[in-house]
A and B are shown apart, each in its own frame.
Chain A
Amino acid sequence: DIQMTQSPSSLSASVGDRVTITCRASQSVDTYLNWYQQKPGKAPKLLIYGASNLQSGVPSRFSGRGSGTDFTLTISSLQPEDFAVYYCQESYKAPLTFGGGTKVEIK
């Protein structure tokens, strides 16, 4: 099975900050990597698919990069509604594993 490791596990940031979250796969997943945002009591929401493709309706301040084993999710200017937990997920092969999550908190 492919293991997905996110860092950091949590971070504190202010509105307007640039935030970058890292996801590393235990083996190459090419660009088969998705990012989700989850708020308390809600289902995850797809932000980025195929490592760098912005899902329809998602603000352009979200961007994704990477290929192979190393990926990043960047929020260019953090907004109040962006405080949430973010997960990466590989879609290279089953089982389709998620990372452990990164909680973005208000500083």
Chain B
Amino acid sequence: EVQLVESGGGLVQPGGSLRLSCVASGFTFSNYWMSWVRQAPGKGPEWVANIQQHASEIYYLDSVKGRFTISRDNAKSSLFLQMNSLRVEDTAVYYCARDKLAGATKFDSWGQGILVTVSS
């Protein structure tokens, strides 16, 4: 069974930093692109970033470029999101999602989500 478990969320002041982690199991992590998707309270999902199997391609939502960094450790089946210069509007539940093997993205497995609250 595919499992994705996020950790590292919490309350942080504007301008602060957090590092989210996602540990994967039940599939060969290194075979898949992976994504972070967030959902602000009462809003729809918003894709944040994704990373190719060996990190040779990385893409970001414009509003997080230069502030967030996605990375992965295939030996530990782990995905990370380093979030710096956090803003109030970054407040959301952040999901780790399995992306594609190849071809077009489809988020076919999701973690339970982790809440990030940016507030003074």
Contact = CB atoms under 8 A, between A and B. Distances in A.
Interface residues of B, number: 19
B109 to A, nearest CB: 8
Interface residues of A, number: 24
B108 A98 contact: no
Contacts, number: 56
Contacts of B75: none
Contacts of B59: 94-95
Interface of A: 1, 32, 34, 36, 38, 43-46, 49-50, 55, 87, 89, 91-92, 94-101
Given A96-B47, A97-B47, 10 more contacts: A43-B111, A43-B113, A44-B110, A55-B108, A89-B45, A89-B107, A94-B59, A95-B47, A95-B61, A98-B47
